[in-house]
Amino acid sequence: MQAPTLRDVYEAKKTIAPYLARTPLHYSAGLSEVLQAQVYLKHDEYLPLGAFKARGGINLLAHLSPEERAQGVITASTGNHGQSIAYACRLFGVRALITLPEKANPLKVAALRSLGAELIFHGANFDQAKAHCERLAVEEGYRYVHPANEPLLIAGVATQTLEVIEDLPEVEAIFVPLGGGSGVSGACIVAKALDPRIRVVAVQSEAAPAGYLSWKRGELVEAKMETFAEGVATGAGYELPQSILRQHLDDFVLVSDDQIRYAIGLLVEKAHTLAEAAGAAALAGALKCGEALRGKKVSIAVSGANITLEQLVEAMKVYRGW
C-alpha cells in the first residue's frame, strides 16, 4: 500500500465535487469563549449521510475497474463507513454488502437499508463483523474494502482538511477523531504538505485505545473495545494509517466516554450543533488540552451527527450533571 500524496487529495477533490457540496467552517463564539481560543467547527455532519466518510466512499468507487464493480463490494462497518460505501455504490450502480455488529446503531442500520445495501449482522463488535466480512470476501469473490487500509479512502476523507486550510490558512491546530485512522492520516498528509507548522491532533476514547497504543508503541496493537462511541470503536491499529501517523502526527489525546458525552452537550448548547459520539470526540480532546490552546486558531472536526435519542439523553445527563 502506498500512502496517498497531496496530489492524490487534489484529484480526490475533483472526483468528489460533482457529488458532495463543500462543507462550511464556522467560527463558534460560544466554544471560543469556553476554550479561550479562536475555535472553528468543520461541519461534515452537513454531508448527506451526516458524516465525513462519504468523501472516501465516492473517491474509492469512482476509481474501481469495471471488473471490480461487477464483483460487488463488501465491507465491515459500525455504520458511517458502511453508509459511505453504500451511498457510493448506489451512485455507481454497484452491489453493496455491509457486515455490521449485531447491535449496530439503529439509525445507521436504517440509513444503510434506505441506501439499498445488503446487510449482514455478525458478532458483538466491529472486529468480529470485520473478520466475518473478510471471510465472505474470499469465499464469494467480492471486492473487499478495508475500512482504513485503502489509499483512495484516505485521499477522499483528506479533502476535509484541505477545505479547512483553504478557508483558514492561518489555522494552528486541527483536531480530528480517530477510529480506524483514515481521517487523521488524511489530515496529516494535507497539513504537513501545505504548512508543517500546523499541529494535527488525534482523539480517541480511552475505552478503545488501540489506535493510540499502536501510535505510541510504533507497532500494531490490539486493545479493549468498550466505548459507546461506535465510530471510534476499533480493537486494533491499521497498517496504512499508522504508518502515516508515525511520520506526521503531532499529538494524540485519549478522552473518557463521559468527556465525549459532555462534549456532545456542549456542542448543542454553545454551537447549536448535533453530533454523534465520534463526531464530538475531537471537541472532547480540545477541551482536555485546555490551556495549551489559549489564543490559538483551532479547527475541530464535527465528523458525524448520527446519534440515537437514547445516546443524546445520556449525554445531556452528563453535561447537566443530572
pLDDT at 171: 98
- Asked if residue 91 lies in contact with residue 18, where contact means CB atoms within 8 angstroms, the answer is no
Q: How far apart are CA 171 and CA 161, in angstroms?
A: 11
Q: Looking at 168-223, list the stretches that DSSP marks H as alpha helix, in order from N- to C-terminal side.
A: 182-194, 210-217
Which residue is catalytic, options 28, 77, 299, 303?
Answer: 303
Query: pTM of the full predicted structure?
Result: 0.94
CA angle 102, 105, 108 (to 5 degrees): 115
Structure-block grid coordinates of residue 185: 492520516
32 has catalytic annotation: no
Exactly one of 53, 108, 192, 297 is catalytic; name it. Answer: 53
Q: Is 53 a catalytic residue?
A: yes
Q: Rounded distance, CA 176 to CA 174, Å? A: 7
The pLDDT value given to residue 79 = 77
> What backbone phi and psi angles, to 5 degrees, belong to 103?
-110, 45
**Separation of alpha carbons 154 and 72, rounded Å:** 21
What does each C-alpha distance from 233 to 105, 178, 223 come to in angstroms?
Answer: 12, 9, 10
Residues 6+ apart with CB under 8 A from 304: 44, 45, 50, 51, 52, 53, 80, 231, 275, 276, 278, 279
The enclosing H or E element of 202 equals: strand 199-205
Q: Which three cell numbers stand for residue 168?
A: 483558514
pLDDT along the chain (322 residues), means of 10: 96 97 98 98 94 95 96 91 95 97 90 95 92 96 95 98 98 97 97 98 97 97 94 92 98 98 98 97 97 97 94 97 89
